[in-house]
Structure 1
């Protein structure tokens, strides 16, 4: 007997790998923005501190039972709020790329994000219901 997660595209190992790469790239975008846009001598601090702060919030505020993550969480966050957090982080990374002057890269990142979230509709729907 199959479960819904057996059929869920968002929980496929390849999709989980893609999601991980998108998350790491988003953190890189925040660091790149800090390095390029924060005035010296704080730029190097910003290049490290901004992605670390985003990663802490990203990792601590999760929805319990989310199989795209470990399923555990530090602060149990309602699914719709978690989805907004994710869209905010990914949208912020897109904006960071644009503000850093990498408009072409930002455009491709946005296209990949939109396609990923369309394909991972099952997880998006799960978050909206929890």
Structure 2
């Protein structure tokens, strides 16, 4: 995206980028809660750390080059539509983990906020679909 387009794009607004960062942190939290509540015995101590770390590594390594909602850099250049599916899988997986962990209201509100965010960030969705 050029600078003019980025300045007008809602998804790249600093407030929106901050909200996106908080949503990503909350998604990792959701995976941690799921790991803690569903892993048996002492394995929960490993799951609460390992599951969010693995998700974060995959989340960070598979990105679309030039995505200004991130650093623009990537370890594995991933086509935009595949990245979008990965994002939906991470966010949806976190919501499903919260639901499965018994935090149904939290999962519902998380999904509502995610839908509103992604509708408002249509410009980034469109960019990903084109790259």
Deviations 1:12-41 (A, max 9, x none): 000000000000000011001000011011
Distance (Å, rounded) in 1 between the aligned partners of 2:87 and 2:41? 30
Cα RMSD for the two superposed structures: 0.7
* Superposition TM-score, scaled by structure 2 size: 0.97
SS at match of 2:49: helix
Distance (Å, rounded) in 1 between the aligned partners of 2:61 and 2:116? 26
The alpha carbon displacement at 1:3 in A equals: 1.1
2:35 maps to 1:34:
yes
Distance (Å, rounded) in 2 between the aligned partners of 1:104 and 1:110? 10
Deviations 1:66-123 (A, max 9, x none): 0000000000000000000000000000000100000000110000000000000000
Any runs of at least 4 consecutive aligned residues in structure 1 with deviations exceeding 3 A, and if so which? none
Distance (Å, rounded) in 1 between the aligned partners of 2:20 and 2:91? 11
Structure 2: give runs of 5+ residues left out of the alignment: none
The alpha carbon displacement at 1:10 in A equals: 0.1
The alpha carbon displacement at 1:11 in A equals: 0.1
Structure 1: give runs of 5+ residues left out of the alignment: none
